[in-house]
Structure 1
Amino acid sequence: MDPYAALRYKEFNIFLVVRFAMVFAWSMQFIVIEWQVYSLTKDPLSLGIIGLMEVIPAVGMALFAGHVVDQKEKRNLLIKCIIGFSIISLGLFLVSDPSLEASIPQNQILYAIYFLVFLGGLVRAFIGPTVFSLIALIVPKKIYPNAATWSSSTWQLASVLGPAIAGFSISWIGVHWSMCLIFAFSLIALLFLFKIPQKPILNPKIGEPVIQSLKDGLRFVFGSKAIFGALTLDMVAVLFGGAVALLPIYAQDILHVGSEGFGILRAAPAVGASLTMLGSTRFPLHKNAGKKLLWAVFGFGICILVFGISELFWLSVIALFLSGAVDGVSMIIRQTILQLKTPDNMRGRVASVNSIFVGSSNELGAFESGLAAKLLGTVPAVVFGGCMTLLTVGTTALVSPTFRKLDLSKDVEDQQKE
């Protein structure tokens, strides 16, 4: 198959610009917030609270958001989401003004940051399902796997540059003006999104009661062994392998590399994942997908263990880079499963369940890591997470032979024939 098939559609290229700008702004913003909060408190639990403040609304609203996405026009809904994110970014820019630290108590600044992060969680609940649904309306079905790979690669590239630029911008222009840069990228995403025309609503059950809609979505996800298995495996691995949430501690107190080193550490996993995803456009991963996913998550757990015990900057960077490379395999396979196995009229609800299982587990993982670091110490917390990831993989491989034998080759061939 043509590795550039999806890129031959103008609207999809515009969509990639929007996705890049949004992910870049979001990932950069999260890093800047982490740095500012830990600099203010020097408390690892405060890093966990950031994740908790985002995951509570993201999980609480996810299923309802999926219902809304399936009922509404996707382009306009995404415009509203980006406007919401822009307002939050502007708020963080104002709150991070250095003059406030001299005139407002530290706790009030922290509460304001946590509140804005909470609002960001509400917005994120809608963004994920909307983006997932919009892709299917921009490209034909036969190139869904290729489009999913390019979309994920763009996400990873933005995830590379966002943290890296955040680390350097904190050093060069400070937290306050870094927030201004984030706001600017959100506006770029908004401007490009207007270049994509409105799309039809493919759901034949417009006006369906919310409760029935949510039941149908959950029933579909839990009834699909491929989707449910992939989401569960990734959720537990990310939940206990969330070492990246503790990177400010490693950068400042263990490796002693400052904000620039922090940016490199934070970008390393995304660099590895990006290279994996670019390679997958030429070497697809759908054959023996189950085994590849299990080995990828196993490798992720090993990398987290190495990072946890490392006191050498270069070894830590390599471990994080490799963790991203194998995590990229996991992400591609999961996204391919979702694109191939999900009907058009249920994409919003399935994506919302995905955000609960996987997307929100990043923030829950951040909270778990912060709490574990508070109780056990930073290094033991990361080692514990790596061990739990390995235990999860071993258990899944033993109890689910059907998932272990999962192969998507026939599904991909069927899509290409349509």
Structure 2
Amino acid sequence: MAPTALPQFARALRSLNYRRYFIGQLISLAGTWMQQIAMSWLAYRLTHSALVLGMISFFGQIPILLFASVGGVWVDRVDRRKLLLATQFLAMMQAGVLAIVSWQALATPTLLMVLAFALGCLNALDVPARQAVAVQLVDNPDDLPNAIALNALLMNGARFVGPALAGVVVAEAGETACFVLNALSYLAVLAALAGIRLSAVPKSRGSALAAFHGGYRYALQHPTIRLLLLLVAGVSFFATSYSAMLPIFAREVFGGGARTYGLLVGSAGVGSLIASLVLAARDPAKPVGNLIAWAAPGIGFCLALFALTPWLGLAFVELMALGFCVIVTVAGSNTVIQSEVDEAYRGRVVGLYSMAFLGVSPLGSLAVGALAHAWGTRPTLLCGAFVTVLLGLTYRHVALGLGHAASGTRPDNPRR
């Protein structure tokens, strides 16, 4: 299919740079998801501990909470393509080390936590850069919201394919094979980045500390951005950490193994993929904020249903619905934020978004792991579901009061 014949929901792919980037990232992110599934399964196979699973997730994502805002400052000050080349190459090296450790049977919970932390530090730079670079990859600035939605589609397409492949590969060839395949998958995105040329964007000047403070001040003074960052952070802490407990559900609740685990994660990925398609295909004139207002409380309802179900088939459906609501909320929030933000602050604001979505999640994973160890998995998830419903309903009330947050219309920029 020629680029000019692409459907409306994929209009950003008409830009050659974005098309190359999209294909490279699709391959690489599928490998990344394979590694995440294999690493969690390896940790659970070695320890059979909910606490260790929570700790692995914690150490993999806590660097984003600690360093993503600093990474956002870098994104606004350096060449984003070169930054991505560096982070992707180093991530490939991390996957190679993990493969060697697994192959030689040297893996321990402590070593897995160290390697997860190393990758998390790279992601603190890589994730804000990947979010911010979208505006430079599209030829038409009007295609930016579609590019953001396609980025979510990219992530969730990989989230669907990666876990399903990982479940088969782990069952047939072991965790090491997943780590090797992930290392090789980085070659695709490195080749794509080597072939693209980015348009120029304004670079942040002055001291890094002043830029850091300026990014926080800008986000806090912008009512829509502030509200959405708080919503995403709440969802990440109380709801999305359920994924750290899926190995326990796979084995102890549903009596399965690695393949069941991969299918559970893949089911959430299917729902996320559908949500990404809905966001990509939506009419730009229709407010995405209205979708968020319905999906945010829906996350809690779906999580509660999953926590209570004793049937594997029903769990697949509930996780699909949960994945749908999560992505409508977080990816829809990203679309509104990036549509609202001033270009001079883009890297720093998407750094804060990365903190809210990915950085807060490890705190939730650590809390869920500890509480599940003490109380049990189902009661812990039910508590998170209840709080998430309250958060979603609170957001809906406040957003309707603000008006622009619910409709997605842009208010005047706050004082900078």
Same fold, TM-score > 0.5, yes or no: yes
Q: Does 1:125 align with 2:124?
A: yes
Where does residue 147 of structure 1 map in the other structure? Answer: 147
Q: 1:3 to 1:399 in 2, by over 3 A?
A: closer
**Alignment map for 1:69-108 (pairs within 5 Å):** 69-97=75-103, 99-100=104-105
Where does residue 30 of structure 1 map in the other structure? Answer: 36
Following TM superposition, by how much is the alpha carbon of 1:230 offset from its aligned partner in structure 2, in angstroms?
A: 1.3
Asked whether the 8 Å contact 2:62–2:362 carries over to 1, the reply is no
Following TM superposition, by how much is the alpha carbon of 1:294 offset from its aligned partner in structure 2, in angstroms?
A: 2.3
**What is the one-letter code of the residue matched to 1:188?**
A
Following TM superposition, by how much is the alpha carbon of 1:364 offset from its aligned partner in structure 2, in angstroms?
A: 2.4
**Alignment map for 1:289-308 (pairs within 5 Å):** 289-308=288-307
Deviations 1:290-348 (A, max 9, x none): 34212101111111001101111001111000111122221332121122111222111
Q: 1:193 to 1:405 in 2, by over 3 A?
A: closer
Q: Give TM-score, length-normalised by structure 2.
A: 0.92
Where does residue 212 of structure 1 map in the other structure? Answer: 210
Where does residue 16 of structure 2 map in the other structure? Answer: 10
Asked whether the 8 Å contact 1:35–1:248 carries over to 2, the reply is yes
Following TM superposition, by how much is the alpha carbon of 1:22 offset from its aligned partner in structure 2, in angstroms?
A: 3.0
1:322 counterpart SS class: helix
- The Cα RMSD (Å) is 2.1
Deviates more, 1:274-283 or 1:335-344: 274-283
Distance (Å, rounded) in 1 between the aligned partners of 2:116 and 2:76: 26
* Count of residues in correspondence between the two structures: 404
Where does residue 238 of structure 2 map in the other structure? Answer: 240
Where does residue 416 of structure 1 map in the other structure? Answer: none
Where does residue 58 of structure 1 map in the other structure? Answer: 64
Distance (Å, rounded) in 1 between the aligned partners of 2:408 and 2:231: 21
Q: 1:310 to 1:409 in 2, by over 3 A?
A: closer
Distance (Å, rounded) in 2 between the aligned partners of 1:319 and 1:184: 33
Where does residue 391 of structure 1 map in the other structure? Answer: 390
Asked whether the 8 Å contact 2:290–2:407 carries over to 1, the reply is no
Where does residue 335 of structure 1 map in the other structure? Answer: 334
Distance (Å, rounded) in 1 between the aligned partners of 2:148 and 2:86: 23
Distance (Å, rounded) in 1 between the aligned partners of 2:183 and 2:398: 47
Distance (Å, rounded) in 2 between the aligned partners of 1:325 and 1:100: 38
Where does residue 182 of structure 1 map in the other structure? Answer: 182
Deviations 1:141-169 (A, max 9, x none): 21111111112111110111111111111
1:71 counterpart SS class: coil
Which of 218, 221, 230 is residue 223 of structure 1 equivalent to? Answer: 221
Where does residue 166 of structure 2 map in the other structure? Answer: 166
Following TM superposition, by how much is the alpha carbon of 1:382 offset from its aligned partner in structure 2, in angstroms?
A: 1.0
Distance (Å, rounded) in 1 between the aligned partners of 2:201 and 2:287: 34
Distance (Å, rounded) in 2 between the aligned partners of 1:177 and 1:259: 14
Q: Give TM-score, length-normalised by structure 1.
A: 0.91
Distance (Å, rounded) in 1 between the aligned partners of 2:331 and 2:62: 26
Deviates more, 1:139-148 or 1:16-25: 16-25
1:221 counterpart SS class: helix
Q: Does 1:271 align with 2:277?
A: no
Residue ranges of structure 1 left out of the alignment (5+ in a row): 413-418
